[in-house]
Amino acid sequence: MKIAFHGAARTVTGSKHIIHVNPGKQILLDCGLYQGMGKETTELNSNWGFVPAEIDYVVISHAHIDHIGLLPKLVKDGYKGKIFCTPATASLAKLLLIDSARIQEDDLRYVNAKREKAGLPLFEPLYDEDDAIKVFPLFETIPYNEHYKIESGIDLMFTDCGHILGSAAVNLKIKENGKEKRITFSGDVGSYHDMILRNPQPFPQADYIIMESTYGDRLHEVSTATADRLLKFIVDTCLKKKGKLIIPAFSLGRTQDVLFMLNRLELEHRLPPLNYYVDSPLSIKITDTIKKYPDYYNDDVKQLLHRDEDVFSFAGLKYIDKVEDSIKLNDIEEPCVIISASGMAEAGRVKHHIANNVSDSRNTILFTGYCEPNSLGGRLKKQPESVKIFSKEFAVKAHVDEIATLSAHGDYEDLCQWLACQNPKDVKTLFLVHGDYDVQVNFKERLIKKGFPDVQIPSLHEVIGLRD
């Protein structure tokens, strides 16, 4: 048996790992898209390093695009088997894959217009909406903690890992030549302090672990006062300065965190009576999907559901679906809060809202998470005097700030806590993936001190044999 690492190897996106089982079975764990890797991105996403038609099974850890975003291309390139995931992951993946196909097509529209002018051949998108739809019938959903026999000698069980709704660690028991190996793939591990989700769950003892390491060198500041900070931004911007508060937020996860906090403030009678807009069709659909899985919430939220049947809704909240209604928000004079995607302000409607509001000192642009340094969010966080949006220069007069205490990824203490259910001596090898190399080197040291005898950091397309 061996494992081939075809993505998220010494980097954080493009998650793809193949377990090769004799004779000739291949199980692909995740099929993620590379994101934000500059000029290399397209090339990385175009070259598999393996043959999709030769894969027998696909198992998906969770619905983030860097874990599912190449499924349509996998199917387009010849994969015909099943795709195993939790029910919530399948529901969210359908929304996100359609959105991803639209983004691929939109991105190329601009590039291709330029190439057409220059007389250059046009680029093809990685996939389109039709390709995305062809993935849906292949999903085979399995609830958490149920043993599932993929075929004789290959058993699968998902355990909750608290990262986003439906996210799972993949626990496999695979027989080869009569000998069984237990392999666990972490997917992405959440924090043990999530507002909405349950804590990551213990998982069965493994012989081999493939583990994410995004924040393997970092400790998050845990803040129970995040909602208070959010309230202060609303009061300072909307009540004192009579301005608009623009909150760029990812459609999946961060938008619901913000809505949950606003709802909580309302329950405590502290939420100022204003208009609160969620301006993103994808965020609306995702929030609706998340509401369908209350069993996945943590106990605090389940308790809250007894006295508040919709924990993401409160007085003054309005969802904006149509583009024309989004444009109308530009003309609103009165103070308001606008929550819109994307979180890094690189795409989506929030870019228009920033362009419209960034030059007015009454307003605040409030980021809710990490932004790539070159994204619009990353550039604004550096507090520049002006910023370029849609090829136009805008003076930055609005206050730019950040709530940095929301993260879907655990820090190194969370990662170690997730591993605490294991006897380190029984883990033959722990493979670190989904992290920057210097972070992984640092995390590896920590794990060796904790007693894990062999920790490896595979490079891209590296194939590593598993000992008996």
Q: Which is nearer to Zn ion, 400 or 439 (CB)?
A: 439
Q: Which of 289, 346, 281, 352 is nearest to 319 (CA)?
A: 281
Tell me what percent of the chain is helix, strand and coil, each rounded to the nearest 5. 35, 25, 45
Query: What minimum distance in Å lies between the beta carbon of 194 and Zn ion?
Result: 13
Q: Which is nearer to Zn ion, 64 or 349 (CB)?
A: 64
> CA–CA separation, 26 vs 264, rounded Å?
47
Instruction: Select from 59-67, 198-206, 286-294, 337-345 the region that touches Zn ion (CB under 5 A).
Output: 59-67
Residue 46 preceded by cis peptide, ω within 30 = no
Query: What minimum distance in Å lies between the beta carbon of 64 and Zn ion?
Result: 4
Q: Which is nearer to Zn ion, 353 or 409 (CB)?
A: 409
> Collapsing DSSP states into helix, strand and coil, what is residue 371?
coil
Q: What string of DSSP letters covers 380-401? A: HHT--SEEEETTEEEE--SEEE
Instruction: Select from 42-50, 184-192, 208-216, 378-386 the region that touches Zn ion (CB under 5 A).
Output: 184-192
Q: Which of 35, 39, 31, 29 is nearest to 12 (CA)?
A: 35
Instruction: Select from 64-72, 101-109, 293-301, 315-323 the region that touches Zn ion (CB under 5 A).
Output: 64-72
Say which DSSP state 38 is in. T
**Beta bridge partners of residue 430, listed in sequence order:** 209, 455
Residues binding Zn ion: number (CB under 5 A): 2
Query: What minimum distance in Å lies between the beta carbon of 9 and Zn ion?
Result: 16
Q: Does 188 bind Zn ion (CB under 5 A)?
A: yes
Q: Which is nearer to Zn ion, 283 or 356 (CB)?
A: 283
What character string, x for contact with Zn ion (CB under 5 A) and - otherwise, covers 266-295? ------------------------------
Backbone region of residue 316 per phi and psi (left: phi > 0; alpha: psi in -120 to 50; beta: other values) = left
Q: Which of 263, 241, 259, 240 is nearest to 251 (CA)?
A: 259
The HSE-up count of residue 418 (CA atoms within 13 Å, CB side) is 34
- Using an 8 Å Cβ cutoff, are 127 and 76 in contact? yes
Q: Which is nearer to Zn ion, 165 or 336 (CB)?
A: 165
> CA–CA separation, 60 vs 102, rounded Å?
22
Instruction: Select from 187-195, 224-232, 321-329, 395-403 the region that touches Zn ion (CB under 5 A).
Output: 187-195
Query: What minimum distance in Å lies between the beta carbon of 33 and Zn ion?
Result: 12
Query: What minimum distance in Å lies between the beta carbon of 409 and Zn ion?
Result: 7
Q: Which of 259, 246, 203, 250 is nearest to 92 (CA)?
A: 250
Q: Which is nearer to Zn ion, 65 or 447 (CB)?
A: 65
Q: Does 64 bind Zn ion (CB under 5 A)?
A: yes
Query: What minimum distance in Å lies between the beta carbon of 254 and Zn ion?
Result: 12
Q: What angle do CA 441, 443, 445 make, to 5 degrees?
A: 75
> CA–CA separation, 277 vs 279, rounded Å?
6
What character string, x for contact with Zn ion (CB under 5 A) and - otherwise, covers 393-432? ----------------------------------------
Q: Does 99 bind Zn ion (CB under 5 A)?
A: no
Q: Which is nearer to Zn ion, 10 or 64 (CB)?
A: 64
Instruction: Select from 11-19, 109-117, 185-193, 383-391 the region that touches Zn ion (CB under 5 A).
Output: 185-193
Instruction: Select from 57-65, 220-228, 269-277, 418-426 the region that touches Zn ion (CB under 5 A).
Output: 57-65
Instruction: Select from 181-189, 246-254, 347-355, 422-430 the region that touches Zn ion (CB under 5 A).
Output: 181-189
Binding residues for Zn ion, rule: CB under 5 A, are 64, 188
